[in-house]
């Protein structure tokens, strides 16, 4: 895949400079790949039920693996509150499968190797030089040299963002307890 340097030049060089989608905005139309390599339309997926969307850097990131595992611990409670969980990274479907196996995950992981979803969500920034080889390898050279800022969105069935947590410092993640509390509060509010 040829790199589009025009797009790269327009994207921030630092995670702190991204402009993410905000509460009240809608999930953009974008195609992602499932672990099996099948195309998944994000807007169609979120129409099925309220969704917790997790953007993470990749299975190579220890902070991401810790977050994925912590969400797995509360998955049953999130499902009981009516949510599906979808985690999105630049990893290839094959690398997603490795993350599922490594972390014993039972929720959905989707591939955004070209970083289209991360760009549309306003989370993409130019990877520092020391990460470019890592993201290229993890995406089978599809990723144009970008990283997503780790983020969590809670989205209703209409695709409207109800909650967002965006962490430019990749070492900081929302705790499972806080995510669960917010998700349950939003589910109760929606049921009124």
Instruction: Indicate the domain borders of the chain.
Output: 17-191
Tell me if the domain spanning 17-191 has CATH number 1.10.10.60.
Answer: no
pLDDT in tens, 101-118: 888 899 999 999 999 999
pTM for the model: 0.93
Length of the chain: 192
HSE toward the beta carbon, residue 109, CA cutoff 13 A? 32
CA distances to 55, 104, 124, 163, 183 from 107, rounded to whole Å, are 14, 9, 23, 20, 16
Residue 108: the pLDDT is 95
Q: How far is residue 174 CA from its own chain's centroid?
A: 13
Eight-class DSSP state of 99: H
Q: Does the pLDDT at position 6 exceed 80? A: no
Q: What's the mean per-residue pLDDT of the chain?
A: 93
Q: How far is residue 118 CA from its own chain's centroid?
A: 8
Residue 191: the pLDDT is 84
Q: Does the pLDDT at position 152 exceed 80? A: yes
Residue 37: the pLDDT is 93
Other C-beta atoms closer than 10 Å to the C-beta of 62 total 9
The two tokens of residue 95 are 């690398």
């Amino acid at each position: 895949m040829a790199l589009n340097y025009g797009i790269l030049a327009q994207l921030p060089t630092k995670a702190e400079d991204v402009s993410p989608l905000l509460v009240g905005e809608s999930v953009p139309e974008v195609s992602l790949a499932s672990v099996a390599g099948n195309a998944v339309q994000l807007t169609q997926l979120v129409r099925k039920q309220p969704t917790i969307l997790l953007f993470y850097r990749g299975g190579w990131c220890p902070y991401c693996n810790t977050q994925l595992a912590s969400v797995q611990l509360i998955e049953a409670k999130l499902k009981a509150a009516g949510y599906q969980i979808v985690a999105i990274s630049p990893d290839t479907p094959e690398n997603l499968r490795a993350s599922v196996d490594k972390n014993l995950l039972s929720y959905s992981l989707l591939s955004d190797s070209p970083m289209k979803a991360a760009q549309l969500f306003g989370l993409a920034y130019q990877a520092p030089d020391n990460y470019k080889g890592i993201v290229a390898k993890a995406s089978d050279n599809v990723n144009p040299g970008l990283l997503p800022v780790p983020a969590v969105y809670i989205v209703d069935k209409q695709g409207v963002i109800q909650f967002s947590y965006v962490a430019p410092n990749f070492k900081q993640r929302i705790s499972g307890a806080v995510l669960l509390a917010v998700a349950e509060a939003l589910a109760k509010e929606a049921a009124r």
